[in-house]
Amino acid sequence: MRPAILVSVLLLGCSDLGVAPAASVDATPDADAAPPVDLLAQWAGCMSRAGWEAARMGAWASKPSSLGTICSDCHADGLAFFNANPSSDAMLETNRTARFVTGFFTLTTDEETGEPDIAPAWSKLSAKGEGQNNHPLFAVGPGERYFQSLEAFARATREARDAGTCDPPR
Amino acid sequence: MPNRRDIALAVMLVAGCTGTYQASDPDRIPDDDHREMTAARRQFEDEVVPILALQCSRCHGAAAVGAQPKFLGQEESSYYDQILRYPSVTGNFDPGLAGILTKIAAGHYDVTYSAEQRQSIADWLAAEALERGDGDGDGDVDQPAAVNPLAEWAGCMRLDDWAASNMGSWANKQTEEDGPCSNCHQDGLARFFADVDSSEMFAMHRYELYIIGFFTVKVDPDGTQTVVPALGKLRRMGRGNFHPNYPTDEEGDADFADLAEFYRLTMTRKESGQCAAPGFPAPPEEI
């Protein structure tokens, strides 16, 4: 099969599947098209020091585990890409980076709109607290104080995002 | 009520082998809660609790006197939550590292298990390991990554470096209130292994279960991961945060200097490409 025919067949196949073919390399960019939004980067730009401190997120560094240790004992410098530095400022700055923002947050789907969104990484944090992959145990659940801190911080961050008062995406 | 029938069966089996087990808390598994339990938890409650109650609770229950680990709660209903807090007892659900098996096999105050009891405990550990460690859902426990920084570090740790830096002296490190580290950590309490046998201590520190005793990982902004001594934790513990006080590097402590030397030797070996293949050692075969 000649290459041109093969490409045409493939493009037709994509169309049939509802998958838009990629734009050709010489296509003129649409000046009006909005750039794709990296929701996690946008979220990181909305994570404010005021919100972080008000929610007492820095206390996660001192969250106790079943071993008598606290999160910062192992995660002060980012073990397993979860940063819980004893310095609340340093912890916030690190958690706003692309590499660490998924420590506390994850991509999800808004239940009402079906649109992609950001939410606290409850499943991961709960699984770790319940001993997944040999992690030390720690208290989990909606009523747990550190989880409540995270919920409050997520709420403040979402409000900032909705109000458009964020820093540029990081 | 199948739950209680199972318990009764377990009681009969245990009684036949080693004595008489009387459930102190026969309602520890309410029928309503039973539905919520994982299979492994159910296995523990039905088959392991009677063994622990009969063989272990006198010395390791919450009300026991002495400094030994109280890895069982006051009531049988609390055994599960309490034993999970003792990775040295469960070996993080690896029978080869689980004190609940290895201590008995090595001889432990004349306590012995029958073959059936030992198998029940091993089966429970295996069930827990599968429930907690099968992240990819393939029906097998996921193996620890061989490419993560701590696994690489385990491949670089050498007994001769350990001995040369005198790391075994940590077992004899004195606390202000409770004697040397080995008094509590001889068997790995709180995932810190401080055996008076330096070679044994070294061997245990290479396992994923215990390597975090002395080390953690620092992630730089560019994503580079470097193993570093867990000084934050070791200093904090020494300052008496729910732990007996001991001197740290901030007071020029010799044991911290030994750790710094062992770290230097191991890092030198890593940087010069003299390490063994990355990966944690395979735990010993189940005893």
Q: DSSP 3-state assignment of B220?
A: coil
Of B12-21, B204-213, B244-253, B277-286, give the lowest mean pLDDT range.
Answer: B12-21
- Distance between CA atoms of residues B277 and A77, nearest Å: 25
Domain membership flag for residue A142: yes
How many domains is chain A built from?
1
Whole-number pLDDT of residue B27 = 55
Name the burial class of residue B281, with classes exposed (0-12), middle (13-18) and buried (19+) by CB atoms within 10 angstroms of its CB. Answer: middle
Residue A43 lies in a domain: yes
Provide ipTM, 2 decimals.
0.77
Amino acid making up residue A65: S
State the average pLDDT over residues B41-54: 94
Per cent of chain B over pLDDT 90 is 66
Q: From CA A110, how far away is CA B68, in angstroms rounded?
A: 51
What's the first-to-final CA gap in chain A, in angstroms? Answer: 47
B203 and B252 part of one domain: yes
Task: Indicate whether B254 and B167 sit together in one domain.
Answer: yes
The reported pLDDT for the residue numbered B38 is 87
Average of pLDDT values for B234-250? 93
Instruction: Examine the pLDDT at B107 and tell me if it is beyond 90.
Output: no
pLDDT in tens, B147-167: 799 999 999 999 999 999 999
Nearest-CA distance from A23 to chain B in Å?
Answer: 32
In a domain, B281, yes or no: no
- The distance of B248 to chain A (nearest Cα, Å) reads 15
- Is the same domain home to B77 and B173? no
Instruction: For chain A, say whether B216 makes contact (Cβ under 8 Å).
Output: yes
CA distance B149 to chain A (A): 9
Count of beta carbons in the 10 Å neighbourhood of residue A134: 20
Q: In terms of domains, do B28 and B124 share one? A: yes
With contacts defined as CB-CB under 8 Å, which chain B residues touch A78? 217-219
Segment B110-125 shows an average pLDDT of 94
Band (pLDDT 50/70/90 cuts) for residue B134 is confident
d(CA B212, CA B71): 21
Distance (Å) from the C-alpha of residue A56 to the closest C-alpha of chain B?
Answer: 21
A123 assigned to some structural domain: yes
Q: Looking at the structure, do residues B245 and B155 belong to the same domain, yes or no?
A: yes
B117 and B208 in a single domain? The answer is no
Query: Is B235 in CB contact (< 8 Å) with chain A?
Result: no
B169 and B78 part of one domain:
no
Q: Is residue B143 part of a domain?
A: no
The pLDDT score that the predictor gives to residue B132 is 86
Residues 6 or more apart whose CB falls under 8 angstroms from that of A108 comprise A116, A117, A118, A119
Chain A CB within 8 Å of residue B133 CB? yes
- Which is nearest to A59 in space by CA: A157, A145, A155, A151? A145
User: Count of residues for chain B?
Assistant: 287
Buried b (16+ CB within 10 A) or exposed e, B52-78: bbbbbbebbbeeeeeeebbbbbeebbe
Per residue in B185-206, pLDDT (tens digit) is 999 999 999 999 999 999 999 9
Please report the beta strands in chain A, taking only residues with DSSP state E, as ranges in sequence order: 105-109, 116-120
The answer to whether residue A24 is domain-embedded is: no
Taking each helix axis from N to C end, the angle separating A145-163 and A122-129, rounded to the nearest 10 degrees, works out to 170
Give A-chain residues touching B235 at CB under 8 angstroms.
none
> Could you tell me if B209 lies within 8 Å of chain A, comparing CB atoms?
yes
Q: Which of B126, B143, B268, B270 is nearest to B207 (CA)?
A: B143
Based on the fold, state whether residues B113 and B85 are members of the same structural domain: yes
Mean model confidence pLDDT for chain B: 87
Residue A134: list chain B partners with CB under 8 A.
Answer: 87, 92, 132-133, 208-209
DSSP state of B1: -
Q: Which domain holds residue B122?
A: 2-133
Q: Give domain status of residue B85, yes or no.
A: yes
CA B232 – CA A79 distance, rounded (Å): 13
- Parallel, antiparallel or unpaired: strands A105-109 and B215-219: unpaired
Structure tokens at A47: 């994570």
Q: Are strands B215-219 and B225-229 parallel, antiparallel or unpaired?
A: antiparallel
Domain count for chain B, please give it: 2
**Four-residue CA torsion sign, A132, B238, B81, A76:** negative
Tell me if A116 is assigned to some domain. Answer: yes
Angle at B254 between CA B155 and CA B250, to 5 degrees: 100
For residue A170, is it within any domain? Answer: no
- Sign of the torsion formed by the C-alpha atoms of B93, B99, B100 and B106: positive
Start-to-end C-alpha separation, chain B? 35
Report if residue B142 sits inside a domain.
Answer: no
What is the domain extent for residue A129? 39-163
Does residue B139 sit within a domain?
no
The tokens for A44 are 């990181």
8 Å CB contact between B123 and B168:
no
Contact A132 B191 (CB under 8 A): no
CB contact under 8 A, B218 and A78: yes
The pLDDT assigned to B35 comes to 52
Please check whether residue B238 lies inside any domain of the structure: yes
Residue B28 lies in a domain: yes
- Report the percentage of chain B scoring pLDDT > 70: 86
Minimum mean pLDDT range among B17-26, B87-96, B109-118, B134-143 = B17-26
* Least confident stretch, A89-98, B104-113, B268-277: B104-113
Q: Low-confidence residues of chain A, pLDDT below 70?
A: 1-37
- A145 CB-contact burial (10 Å; exposed 0-12 / middle 13-18 / buried 19+): exposed
Is A89 part of any domain? yes
Position A125 in a domain = yes
Q: Whole-prediction pTM value? A: 0.79
Looking at residue B22, its pLDDT comes to 62
- Whether residue B279 lies inside any domain: the answer is no
Q: Do B127 and B216 sit in the same domain of this protein?
A: no
Residues B118 and B173 in one domain: no
Whether residues B142 and A68 touch (CB distance < 8 A) is answered with no
